[in-house]
Amino acid sequence: MKKPTLLVSACLLGQPVRYDGRSKPVSGPDWEALGQRFELIPACPECIGGLPTPRPAAEIAGGDGNDVLAGSARVWSAAGDDVTPAFIDGARRTLEIAAEHRCAAALLKANSPSCGNRRIYDGSFSSTLREGRGVAASLLERHGIPVWNEEEVDALLEAGDRPMPG
């Protein structure tokens, strides 16, 4: 029997794609269990959207990912560049990858302006978190793909093969 697929932030799988050129690999028994239960499909929405690695940090100003998709908020880099188009393009292409691989869910990097599913930075570059979703997380959820983060792996595993958000 073929395992269900799970879209995973590439940085969590050890790929050096974060804005600072690093990764945020996660390991442990829960991560091993994920690999046994799911086929893991890596993706980095920011890289897929055409942003280089490394790149200046970015935050959403004026809302969250849903607001960016609606055109009422923007994504700005710490260097003052409007990187909204790259974030939207990356989110759309990430959704295409998820659809192509029939991903049951996504496990994305917490607090990211692309991938955050519960909280994101507030747009002030002051390390202040607020409630909200990133651009890719918002688009995936709009299309029925539940999004989890690396702090919710145990709950994702408990949800079974058709994971719904915890």
Q: Which two tokens stand for residue 97?
A: 């990858």
Is 135:60 a contact under the CB 8 Å cutoff?
A: yes
Q: Which amino acid is at 136?
A: A
Query: In the beta sheet, which residues pair with residue 8?
Result: 42, 107
Domain segments of the chain as ranges: 5-159
Is 112:38 a contact under the CB 8 Å cutoff?
A: no
Which has more confidence, 164 or 43? 43
Q: How far apart are CA 99 and CA 7, in angstroms?
A: 10
Residue range 12-35: mean pLDDT, rounded: 93
**pLDDT tier, 30 (very low <50, low <70, confident <90, very high otherwise):** confident
* Residues in contact with 35: Cβ distance below 8 Å, sequence separation at least 6, in sequence order: none
Res 159 pLDDT > 80:
yes
Per-residue model confidence as pLDDT tens digits over 39-98 = 999 999 999 999 999 999 999 999 999 999 999 999 999 999 999 999 999 999 999 999
Q: Which amino acid is at 11?
A: C
Res 166 pLDDT > 60:
no
Is 107:150 a contact under the CB 8 Å cutoff?
A: yes
Which has more confidence, 129 or 157? 129
Residue range 125-154: mean pLDDT, rounded: 96
Per-residue model confidence as pLDDT tens digits over 94-134 = 999 999 999 989 999 999 999 999 999 999 999 999 999 99
